[in-house]
Structure 1
Amino acid sequence: MTVDNITAIMASALFMVIKIAIPVLLVSLIVGLSVSIFQTVTSIQDQTLTFVPKILVTFLTLIILGNWMLTELSGFVVKMWSDFSLYIH
C-alpha cells in the first residue's frame, strides 16, 4: 500500500464525515442564529433559550436524515471492505 492510497482513503473518509455532518451543523447554525437575533431584538438574555431549540432541532434533523446518513456510511464501509484486498498488497 502506497502513501497515495492512504491519502486517497483519508481524503474520502474526511469528505464522508463532512458530507454527513454538514446538514446537522447547518440546521443548528441557522436555529442558533435565529434565536440569537430574537434575543437581541427582545433583549432576553436567557442561556437556555439558545440551547433547547438547537438541541431539539438537531435531534429532529438526526431523526429525519438518519436513514440517509447510515446509508452513506454503510456504503462507504462496504466500499472499503470490498477494496480491502487492494490495500494489503
Structure 2
Amino acid sequence: MTPAIVVDILREAMYLIMLIVAVMVVPSLIVGLMISIFQAATQINEQTLSFLPRLFVTLFAIVVGGPWLVRTLTEFTTRLYSNIPFLIG
C-alpha cells in the first residue's frame, strides 16, 4: 500500500464525513439564522424559540436524508472492504 493510496482513502473518507455533517447541520444553521434575525427584530429573547425549531429541523433532515446517508456510508465501507486484497498485495 503506497502513501498515495492511503491519502486517497483518507480524502474520500473526509469528504464523506463533511457531506454527512453538512446534510444535518446546514438546515439547522439556516433556521437558527432566520430565528436570530426574527428575535433581533422583535427583541424576544426566549431560549425555546431558538432551540426547538432547530431541533425539529435537524430531526427532519436526519429522517429525510438518513436513508441516503446510510446508503452512501455503506457503499463506501463495502468498496473499502472489497479492495482490501488489492491494497495489501
TM category, shorter: over 0.9
Number of residue pairs aligned between Structure 1 and Structure 2:
89
C-alpha separation between the residues in 2 aligned to 1:74 and 1:44?
44
Structure 1 stretches of 4+ moved >3 Å: none
- Structure 2 regions of 5+ residues with no counterpart? none
C-alpha separation between the residues in 1 aligned to 2:38 and 2:87?
53
CA shift digits 1:17-53 (9 cap, x unpaired): 1122212211011100011011011101122221111
2:71 matches 1:71: yes
What amino acid is aligned across from residue 72 of structure 1 in structure 2? Answer: T
C-alpha separation between the residues in 2 aligned to 1:88 and 1:52?
49
C-alpha separation between the residues in 2 aligned to 1:86 and 1:15?
22
2:67 matches 1:32: no
* Mapping 1:17-28, distance limit 5 Å: 17-28=17-28
What SS is found at the alignment partner of 1:44? coil
How far off is 1:3 after superposition?
1.1
TM-score (norm 1): 0.93
Residue 50 of structure 2 corresponds to 50
What SS is found at the alignment partner of 2:31? helix
What SS is found at the alignment partner of 2:44? coil
RMSD value, Cα: 1.0
- Structure 1 regions of 5+ residues with no counterpart? none
Q: Which has the higher contact order (CA 8 A, sep 6+)?
A: 1
